[in-house]
Chains A and B, each alone.
Chain A
Amino acid sequence: MKRLTQDELLQFLKSWETCYDLRVPILLPDGGRAICRLADGPLAMHGGSVPAKPTSLFFPQDGLVFAAGANGYLERVDTEKRLFIIGLTPTDLQCLRFIDRFFSTGERDDLYFASRDKAIIAVVSGYCGRDGEFIPPSSGSCDLELYHDGIDWLLMPYSDEGRELAASFNAGDEVVSLESVHGKAVHPPSAEQEVVLAAAAILQETELPDAFWDEIGEHCIQCSGCNLTCPTCTCFGVQDWCYGEHTERRRVWDSCQLAGFMREAGGHNPLATAGQRSRRRIHHKLVADMSRWGEIGCFVCGRCDLACPTGIGIIAVSREIVTRFGMPDDNSKRD
């Protein structure tokens, strides 16, 4: 493991720019942050998770499925450099693991894995969250980790490839291990994580009245911001674009909060009301994913709560569920 100053970190990143398609957190002109190329703006490692869907690097908002010309289908030619992504948080990494399993189960989604299989991932943790907030380190299921100890960056490799990358950079002081700096502290769940887990437990046991979901649905303005920022939302639609004899089939993110999401050709719509769609959004993460994958599909990154203009992100709805339907020993009231 190496200790790098901020300048040395920048040197380290720049040293890989020619070999890899390097993506790092940058500061946008409007003051926001996004994972982009180094040339797109000043490096902005501090600030925690970026607001946009971090898994979009492998599952883009608008991606080519295939192209076809007059002589048939044109196979995708992979000429791009490998992605080297810096700036996911350990929570983002959990989300990435979740959708890795989703896209690899059953029919393996070759579009997703075309870039994912070859990507190098470096997460950030330590005292680099929003307003210097502490981000607990990852469990190590990535290539590299950049841990900010309040002064410098500790570069910790986990995979063989991560070790090669770290070893080839001839700067920075060697330090022993992340544990030597950070210790073996166990980080308790945050209040937000606890409330989402409590809501999940209630929903897994109890079918809430439709009136509750209708009430949540009344707040929804179908902006779809929740789905568009959620790292574990993977729904998409398919569109064909024609340019003369050249046709491109593209897949585009879709949102279960839109009225037409499940409308069938015959007119039947299993999600016809805003209440049904709100129920679907929360139930899918907290109940259906638990049934299918053995864990809930929300890792409490907080993006949907930040994005929602009307205050019905999953943490807010979970609070409402726990307050109104929690058991008395949860210090909350049951309606």
Chain B
Amino acid sequence: MPRADSCQSRSLYIPRDATILSVTELTSREKLFRLRLSDGSELKHLPGQFIQLSILGYGEAPISVASPPTRQGYFELGIRRVGSLTTAMHALKRGDKVGIRGPYGTPFDLGSMGGKDLLLISGGCGLAPMRSLIQYAADRKSEFGRVTILYGARSPDQLLFREDLDKWETISGFACSYTVDSREGDGCYSGSTGLITDLIRPIELSPAETEAVIVGPPAMYTPVIAALKEKGLSSQQISLSLERQMRCGVGKCGHCSIEHLYCCQDGPVFRLNVIEHLHGAL
């Protein structure tokens, strides 16, 4: 018999307006959108969180924030064109408006990462949410140990944030390597070829002083986790960001459940020891 006062306040499902400040083409199917909330406020997110992107007539989709909260006045979304909403988003230009709800979900555990070496492994468009953490670490270098960035994509033309990858390599205390499954489509590519796990094996790390983060396609998790455990890392030292079809972002729609957990509320960032025993999590 709930008897809360009748509430005419704004519904939690109504988005806030955001204005597109710029659009950068990353690949033939991915664009980076820089946005600002139209009321001038900050998004107030933390690395690892996501927003629900809303375009009237097309619905909503969960998109990870690709920029850090340390860079004020805007936030960025790296968006792959795969469906009707993302196709509509790709057609938008500077000055156009979209809807934003959030930020939602658990961020990366910055507290536990403090003072530790970070091993940040991403695949495909998983680099977009990881970029938020990488740039955060770059902006607050003194708070972290050595930062090692490993990234894998299918082919050279699908590598995201090429300029950032080269820039991160030059930051003191940072190391950045990337690889592609196949050189197909770019005869000039001179970088590494092979699986992401090939980049992990040569790394020398201090297991007790390291926090690892994995963000990538589902197929990447099992082999990368195995490679990290071979390096001496425990499940408590490994965090993952899981992708699920989050329709509401607030734990109501049921589409992102993983047994008793909701990816949008209890995740998307999980410690491996929390989810590794759950049926269907990985």
Q: Contact residues of A with B, CB < 8 Å?
A: 65-66, 68, 73, 75-76, 78, 100, 102-111, 113, 116-118, 121, 141-143, 159, 207, 234-240, 242, 247, 249, 251, 254, 256, 261-266, 268, 270-271, 276, 279-280, 283-284, 287-292
Contacts and interface: CB of A to CB of B under 8 A. Distances in A.
B216 to A, nearest CB: 11
Contacts of A68: 56
B83 interface: yes
B140 interface: no
Contact of B10 (A75, A104, A143): A75
Interface stretch (B111-119, B187-195, B201-209, B240-248): B240-248
In the A-B complex, the 10 residue pairs with the smallest Cβ-Cβ separation, listed nearest first, are A235-B254, A291-B260, A288-B260, A107-B250, A292-B260, A247-B56, A265-B82, A268-B218, A242-B57, A65-B13
A254 B259 contact: no
Interface residue tally on B, bucketed by range: 35 or more
Nearest to A256: B254
A262 B6 contact: no
Contacts of A121: 1
B91 interface: no
8 contacts: A66-B14, A113-B2, A159-B1, A238-B60, A239-B59, A240-B57, A249-B59, A268-B243
Contacts, number: 129
A263 B4 CA distance: 37
Contacts of B255: 235, 237, 254, 261-262
Contacts of A73: 14
B159 to A, nearest CB: 17
A117 to B, nearest CB: 5
Contacts of A242: 56-57
Interface string B173-200: 0000000000000000000000000000
A238 B53 CA distance: 13
Given A78-B6, A159-B1, A238-B248, A65 B11 contact: yes
Contacts of A117: 2-6
B86 interface: yes
B14 to A, nearest CB: 5
